[in-house]
Amino acid sequence: MFNSIQIFGMALLGGLGAGEVSRRALALPRTTGYVFFGLLVGQSGLGWIAPYHIESNQLFIDLALGLILFELGYQVPLVAISEGWSRLRAGLLISLTTGATVVLTLLAMDFSARSAVFAAALCLATSPAITIATCSDVGARGDKTGLLFTMVATTGCVAFVISTWSMPFLVEDETSRYLVSAWTVTQELGAAVVLGGLCAGLVLIGARFLGQRPEHQHLLILGTIVLGVGTAIYLDISVLLPMLLFGCLTRALDQKQQVVAIRIASDARIFLVATFVLAGAILDLGVLMAYWLEALVLVMARFSGQIAGVFWNRHRLGLNTESSIYLSIGLQPMSSIALVLLANMQTLYSGLEPRLTGALLATILLMQLLGPLATQTAIKGFGEATCLQSDDPAVDKTASDRDSWENKS
């Protein structure tokens, strides 16, 4: 019915309108409106966007992921080495408690141990796209927002590594074949780390020669992101780990502050809107209706594990009880990257339990709808929302001008 360019334009304009209605009329994050519009025009609604449209727009989705993951990595705040190790340990322990809770829940629901481990890995990650987009909308700025970025980045890396390593365990029955597949996966992870380091090195060297000229450095960073995403696709590795490391390393290694602090999220907005719409279009409300009970149980198990992990580490993170609760809420958005990994798993392993597939898809859909509201609630609870919802466009313009001035300074 529509070609790929029309679909992309429809996603942008429809997403824009739905996002503004969501923000102005319902006081909800724009990202919620984007997903609802995707559901409206996708297979759950009018059927204008079919699965093959998603495949034809995969390049836009990959670029959006690259931009937003770099932004997430770059927003991870620099802290003292001792505090950095404390945050890393906290992120690992939060991932451990979350994963253990989900695994035990799935075992109690009579799923196999292999499937439970893979599903738990998918449940570890918090959506970087929802976090960045929602934080940008409410003007999130402060120490606790920085901590949220750190936890999202850490748990995302853990989820990606565990899910990637668990795939051969699910696919291969023989130990020897599993070891060969695991070694191949390890090489891919190593290549992702090297690619992220090379991208960071390119930007740091380029910034030294270009000087602090925002327009030139902007082009340098965008070009490196596009090159990095393209290289990841060429090497057949995920863009998640290299782009996230790219952002983290660029900020951590820029000791002379030669890289101009640029908000890449503004460039990602065009792709980000389309990505949320397409993610909503590919999800099926019928699956949620069929597996709502399993999805609800998974959501509760995931939240229980996250809040237990955060409370366990609240002193290490320097949080009081209230802030610990809000941080746990902020970790709720489930990463759409889980959808990609799940699709890969279905392709590699057709024997994956259909009930588990349905439960995971229903959980992802539920958290795509509720996740933005959870992030917005957390940022407001932190008291770090500098641009609260408003019907007055002048308010948004003032906040935008403030962000622009602060970036230049």
Of 341, 275, 277, 254, the residue nearest 66 (C-alpha)? 275
How many whole angstroms separate alpha carbon 391 and alpha carbon 304? 36
Sign, Cα dihedral of 235, 241, 247, 250 = negative
Find out whether 248 and 153 touch, Cβ atoms under 8 Å: yes
Please tell me whether residue 93 adopts helix, strand or coil conformation.
helix
Sign of the CA dihedral 229, 232, 237, 240?
negative
pLDDT tens, the chain, 409 aa long: 677 778 878 888 998 899 899 888 888 888 888 888 988 988 778 888 776 766 666 777 778 788 888 888 888 888 888 898 999 999 999 999 999 999 999 999 988 888 888 888 888 888 888 888 888 888 888 899 999 999 999 998 888 888 777 766 665 555 556 666 667 778 888 899 999 999 999 999 998 888 878 778 888 888 999 999 999 988 888 788 899 999 999 988 888 888 876 665 566 677 778 778 887 887 778 888 888 999 999 999 999 999 999 999 999 999 999 999 999 999 999 876 666 555 555 544 555 677 888 888 888 888 888 888 999 999 999 999 887 644 444 444 444 444 443 444 3
Q: Residue 132's closest CA among 69, 84, 200?
A: 69
List, in order of start, the domains of the chain with CATH numbers: 4-402 (1.20.1530.20)
Based on its alpha-carbon atoms, the radius of gyration of the chain, rounded to whole angstroms, reads 20
pTM for this entry: 0.84
